[in-house]
Amino acid sequence: MIVVTKSSITEERIAEIVAHIERAGVQAHVSRGTDRTVIGIIGKAEPTLAEHLRQMKGVEQVIKISKSYKLASRDFHPDDTIIEVKGVKIGGDQLVVMGGPCAVESPEQIDEIARLVKAAGAQVLRGGAFKPRTGPYSFQGIGVEGLKMMAEAGSKHGLLTITEVMTPEYVDVCAEYADILQVGTRNMQNFDLLRKLGTIRKPVLLKRGFSATYDEFLNAAEYILAGGNPNVMLCERGIRTFETYTRNTLDLAAIPVLQQLSHLPVISDPSHGTGRRELVEPMAKASVAAGANGLIIEMHTDPDNSMTGDGVQSLFPDQFARLMKELEQLGALVGRRFDTPKEPAERFAEWKVV
Ligand code: PEP
Ligand code: MN
């Protein structure tokens, strides 16, 4: 249930309504929007509560919400959520690009890639220290040492960092070193992990499970929000379909659908969404055209020798830099902007694609 207030309502009246809701033994969540304030109610309320609220001064409407997720829904929070991390805004009209390798491999590798990510104009360095691999004999990531290497490269080059956390026990150490924590597709319904992420305040990028519906995806986000962490972004990273040419099928419609259903920023991952380098650029552009708030893109200086199999979907640095430049122009057409250096592509003459 939500209570929509009149635009002229005072703070005292809002406090009275909240107190009334809490006396009924349920929770009230106040969302102050640009035009109106919405008070969302969570919990099982007596049927008479709606009637009482309707009669209170300052109340315009009381609407029953049938969705199973509440805090993640746009009904509860009509305005876009904008997450601010060290001055970088994620959400609203900002376009955020997170670039970097699938896995952190060495201090030299992550430092060089960070330099290139920054020079191309992106704001966030991605890199996995803990890798969720399909087989137990594959490279599993270099662990905490990798977190430290990435933190150092990020701070040296002025980039935020994002890294995947796979278990509740590692949330604290990942949060100590990284600015944003990523939940991978395989862990979207790892409810213990989601609950633990609800107890911190670091932003979480939640990837869509490769066979999750929108409803399941938003309920997974709800776990983190319900725990008290409002800083959640959703990431469409491709779903499993009958098609085998691409690694996954990037569900472009998910971008506007999630933005209609939810106020959380939506990030697209065209790297895992396609699994093919030559498709990353067109699908990155398509994602921005569809309204994405950001992209997470794999980029490697030596993709053929990357330690995970994801080199085949990693851009070369010059491709990444060119894409950034084009995204700036495209973003301007669809109301998305970000600051890129003037001529990033030219700085990458040394990185010719052969
Ligand atoms: C990754 O970002 O490297 C990754 C493993 O992603 P996903 O969970 O989407 O497969
Ligand atoms: Mn990867």
| Kind of pairing between the strands at 96-100 and 88-90 | unpaired
List CB contacts of 208: < 8 A, sequence separation 6 or more.
Answer: 185, 188, 217, 234, 235, 236, 237, 239, 251, 254
Which-ligand-closest: CA of 306?
2
271 lines ligand 1 (CB under 6 A): no
- The finding on whether 311 has its CB within 6 A of some atom of ligand 1 is no
Whether 280 and 317 have beta carbons less than 8 Å apart is answered as no
Residue 256: CB atoms within 10 A of its CB come to 13
Q: Which residues surround ligand 2, an ion (CB under 5 A)?
A: 102, 310
Strands 124-126, 27-32: pairing is unpaired
Half-sphere exposure of 99 (CA within 13 A, CB side): 32
208 lines ligand 1 (CB under 6 A): no
**Among the atoms of ligand 1, which is closest to the Cα of residue 237?**
9
2-5 sheet: strands from edge to edge: 27-32, 37-42, 2-5, 59-63
Residue with tokens 């035009």: 35
> Which residue, judged by its Cα, is nearest atom 3 of ligand 1?
102
Ligand 1 binding pocket mutation candidate from 182, 183, 186, 272 (most atoms within 8 A of CB): 272
Residue 187, pLDDT score: 98
33 Cβ closer than 6 Å to some ligand 1 atom: no
Beta carbons within 8 Å of 45's beta carbon, 6+ residues apart: 1, 21, 24, 25, 26
Q: Which of 105, 130, 164, 165 to mutate to test the pocket of ligand 1 (most atoms within 8 A of CB)?
A: 164
Tokens of 38: 């919405």
User: pLDDT tens string for the chain (354 positions)?
Assistant: 999 999 989 999 999 999 999 999 999 999 998 888 999 999 988 889 999 999 999 999 999 998 999 999 999 999 999 999 998 999 999 999 999 999 999 999 999 999 999 999 999 999 999 999 999 999 999 999 999 999 999 999 999 999 999 999 999 999 999 999 999 999 999 999 999 999 999 999 999 999 999 999 999 999 999 999 999 999 999 999 999 999 999 999 999 999 999 999 999 999 999 999 999 999 999 999 999 999 999 999 999 999 998 999 999 999 999 999 999 999 999 999 876 443 444 444 444 443
- Is any atom of ligand 1 closer than 6 Å to the C-beta of 175? no
| Residue 190 Cβ < 6 Å to ligand 1 | no
User: Among candidates 290, 291, 293, 278, which has minimal Cα distance to 323?
Assistant: 278
Give how far Cα 26 sits from Cα of 13, 74, 144, 231, Å: 18, 20, 41, 23
Ligand 1 centroid vs 79 CA: distance in angstroms?
A: 29
Cα of 187 vs centre of ligand 2, distance in Å, is 14
